[in-house]
């Protein structure tokens, strides 16, 4: 008789993880012939039908889903917690537990994140620029040792969108004067002023 749990482990090691039969025999203590027999057998793990019992949340799923979606669009500090959403559901007649609502919210968030990851993987917008059409600008912070003191710097970044040529200039502060000075020096270095700027806020 084949031990179904052991069969599952052996198949996972061999087919998914790519372990050779010799390594599986070393780990399990079974003979190579037994491991080969397990791998060749037509026995599969038993599958039990999922029991679908009505949940107290079934009548409120649509409402809770719309509330969760609404909360994701709010500022982080203004969002309601799942406990607050549970209280709101109780006020409209829900008699189920908080744990059921929390499990539903957790699953909903996981599905939303997976959908975003999938969409982000498959979506891109190719950008194309003519020479002199645009530049991109942004600030960053960096540190440098000046006169023996570790000093925080504000670094202005310019990049020409067509050629990808770049220009950097560091300042102690991020003020309007520094912004204008950085633009002046960048345009002098580039030998002209592009038609438009793309600023990262």
Segment 58-87 shows an average pLDDT of 90
105 vs 92: CA distance, rounded Å: 18
8-46 pLDDT per residue, tens: 888 888 888 888 999 888 888 888 998 888 888 766 555
Q: Where are the domains of the chain?
A: 4-40, 58-122, 134-199
85 vs 98: CA distance, rounded Å: 9
Which tokens go with 9? 């482990």
- What rounded mean pLDDT belongs to the chain? 87
User: What order do you get walking across the sheet with 149-160 strand by strand?
Assistant: 166-171, 149-160, 134-146, 196-199
pLDDT score at 45: 55
């Amino acid at each position: 008789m084949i031990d179904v749990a052991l069969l599952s482990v052996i198949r996972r090691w061999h087919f998914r993880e790519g372990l050779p039969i010799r390594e599986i025999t070393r780990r399990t203590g079974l003979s190579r012939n037994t491991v080969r027999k397990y791998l060749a057998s037509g026995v599969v793990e038993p599958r039990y039908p999922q029991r679908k019992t009505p949940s107290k949340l079934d009548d409120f799923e649509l409402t809770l889903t719309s509330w969760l979606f609404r909360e994701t669009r709010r500022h982080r500090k203004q969002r309601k917690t799942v406990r607050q959403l549970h209280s709101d559901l109780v006020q409209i007649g829900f008699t189920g537990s908080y744990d059921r609502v929390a499990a539903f919210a957790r699953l909903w968030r996981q599905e939303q994140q997976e959908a975003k990851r999938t969409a982000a993987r498959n979506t891109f917008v190719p950008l194309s620029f003519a020479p002199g059409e645009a530049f991109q600008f942004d600030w960053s912070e960096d540190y440098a040792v000046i006169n023996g003191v570790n000093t925080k710097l504000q670094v202005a970044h310019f990049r020409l969108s067509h050629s990808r040529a770049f220009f950097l200039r560091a300042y102690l502060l991020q003020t309007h004067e520094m912004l204008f000075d950085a633009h002046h020096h960048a345009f002098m270095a580039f030998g002209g002023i592009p038609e438009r700027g793309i600023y990262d806020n």
